[in-house]
Amino acid sequence: MTITLPTLQKINRKTINLYNDLSIKSHRTVFNIADDDDLHEWWEYHLEHMDLCQNEKIVHFIETSYRLLTEVSAKKKNLEKLKKWNFDIVFEDAVSVGYWTFRSHRIAKYLALHKESIQEFDYLIDDKKVSFRLPLRILEVPTSKNEKTVVSIKEKSRYSDERNLEVYDTFALDDIQTVKEIIDDLLDHIIYLEEKGFDSRSIDRIVRELSTLTNLLGSYIELKAITQSLRSLVYYLYENKEELIVMDHSYLLLFEGLFNNLKNWYLALFVSGCVNINIFDASIQADIDIIKTMIQSVNEMSETSIELF
C-alpha cells in the first residue's frame, strides 16, 4: 500500500516592517496606543524586558521615540484630542535585528518633516508608517582566558551576573527613604484631588513636595538631569498657579502619570535595578513637557477670552 503524503506549501510570510525582511519570526508584538497611559505601558514594557534594553542603542531609540511621540501629542493642545491617538507600534524579531514599525500616517508625516530627529537611526518611511531597524546585540561571555562563548541577547537571562542591572545603593539610606515618602505622598494627594480639583493650598503642597524632592536629588551629581527637569516644573507651577486652579479635573491625570513615572524611577534605581541611572530621564522630561503644554493652552485660552471682551 502506498501512502501519499500531502504536499506542504510554503507560506509567504507577510511583514509589517518596510524592509520586507522575510526572516522574521512567525510571531510579532503589537502595542495599541490609544492614549497616554498606553504610551507609558509601552515604555514600561521595554524597561521590564531588560534583555532587550541591554543594548544602549535600543535604549536610546526607545527614549527618543517616547520623546517624539509625546511631542506629537503635545501639538494637539488639549487633553480630549490627546486621548485619540489610535495607532500601533509593531515589534518584529529577526534574531539578529529587530524592527519597530509605527503604523500611523500622522506620525509618518510628522517624522518626514522632522527627519533630523531620527537621522541617527536606520529607518524607512512612507505615507502610512515608519520602520526602524536596530541590531540585537550579541554578547561575549568569557569562559576562560583564551576562550569566549558567543551568546545571543535572547539567552542572556541565563547569566544573571551578566545582566548589568545595578541597584544604586551608594545613596544615603535616609535620602532614599525620603524620596519614597515624597513620591508616595504626591501620588496619594493627586488621586485625592481628582475628585475635587486644584485649589491654592493643594498647589502649594505639590510645589513644596516637589521642591523638597528637587533639593534632595540636587545633592547628587549623578541625578543632575532629573533634578533640572523637576526644578523647571516647580518654577512653572509656581508661576502659573492661577491657570492650575481653573484647569479641568481630567488634566490631573497628567500629574498622576508623572508621579507614577517617578515611582517607577525610584523602584528601578533603588529596588529592582536598572541598566543605567539615566534610563527614565527622557520619559520624565516628556511628562513634564506635556504638563507645561496643557497649562500653556489654558493660559492662551484665557488670554483669548480677555481679548474678546
With CA atoms as reference, report the closest residue to 62 among 264, 230, 278.
Answer: 278
Q: Which of 36-40, 70-74, 85-89, 144-148 is most confident? A: 85-89
Name 74's Cβ contacts closer than 8 Å, sequence gap at least 6.
82, 289, 290, 293
Output the pLDDT for position 131.
Answer: 93
- Computed on alpha carbons and rounded to an integer, the radius of gyration of the chain in Å comes to 23
- Main-chain dihedrals φ then ψ at residue 98, nearest 5 degrees: -120, 150
Q: How large a percentage of the chain has pLDDT more than 90? A: 17
Going by pLDDT thresholds of 50, 70 and 90, the confidence category of residue 244 is confident
Query: For 131-155, what is each residue's pLDDT tens digit?
Result: 999 887 544 434 443 433 333 333 3
Going by pLDDT thresholds of 50, 70 and 90, the confidence category of residue 302 is low
Q: Examine the pLDDT at 51 and tell me if it is beyond 60.
A: no
Going by pLDDT thresholds of 50, 70 and 90, the confidence category of residue 308 is very low
Query: For 75-133, what is each residue's pLDDT tens digit?
Result: 554 444 445 567 889 988 887 788 999 998 888 888 888 888 888 899 999 989 999 99
Output the pLDDT for position 116.
Answer: 85
Output the pLDDT for position 74.
Answer: 56
CB 90 within 8 A of CB 125: no
Q: Examine the pLDDT at 286 and tell me if it is beyond 70.
A: yes
Output the pLDDT for position 156.
Answer: 34
CB 109 within 8 A of CB 121: no
Going by pLDDT thresholds of 50, 70 and 90, the confidence category of residue 172 is confident
What is the arithmetic mean of pLDDT over 241-258? Answer: 80
Query: For 223-243, what is each residue's pLDDT tens digit?
Result: 989 999 999 999 999 888 888
Q: Examine the pLDDT at 256 and tell me if it is beyond 70.
A: yes
Output the pLDDT for position 146.
Answer: 40
Note the pTM of the prediction, 2 decimals: 0.55
Per-position DSSP letters for the chain, written without gaps between them? ---PPPPPPPP----SSTT--TTS-S-EEEEEE-SHHHHHHHHHHHHH-HHHHTSHHHHHHHHHHHHHHHHHHHTT-SHHHHT---EEEEEEE-SSEEEEEEE-HHHHHHHHH-GGGTTTSEEEE-SSEEEEEEE-PEEEEESSSS-EEEEEGGGGGG-GGGS--B--TTS-HHHHHHHHHHHHHHHHHHHHHTTT---HHHHHHHHHHHHHHHHHHTT-GGGHHHHHHHHHHHHHHHHTHHHHHHS-GGGHHHHHHHHHHHHHHHHIIIII-BS-TTTTHHHHHHHHHHHHHHHHHHHHHHHHHHHH-
And the C-alpha cell for 74? 503635545
Going by pLDDT thresholds of 50, 70 and 90, the confidence category of residue 186 is very high
Lowest mean pLDDT among 96-105, 121-130, 166-175, 213-222: 166-175
- Scored b (16 or more CB within 10 A) or e, 190-212 reads beebeeebbeeebbeebbebbbb
Q: What angle do CA 289, 295, 300 make, to 5 degrees?
A: 120
Going by pLDDT thresholds of 50, 70 and 90, the confidence category of residue 301 is low
CB 177 within 8 A of CB 71: no
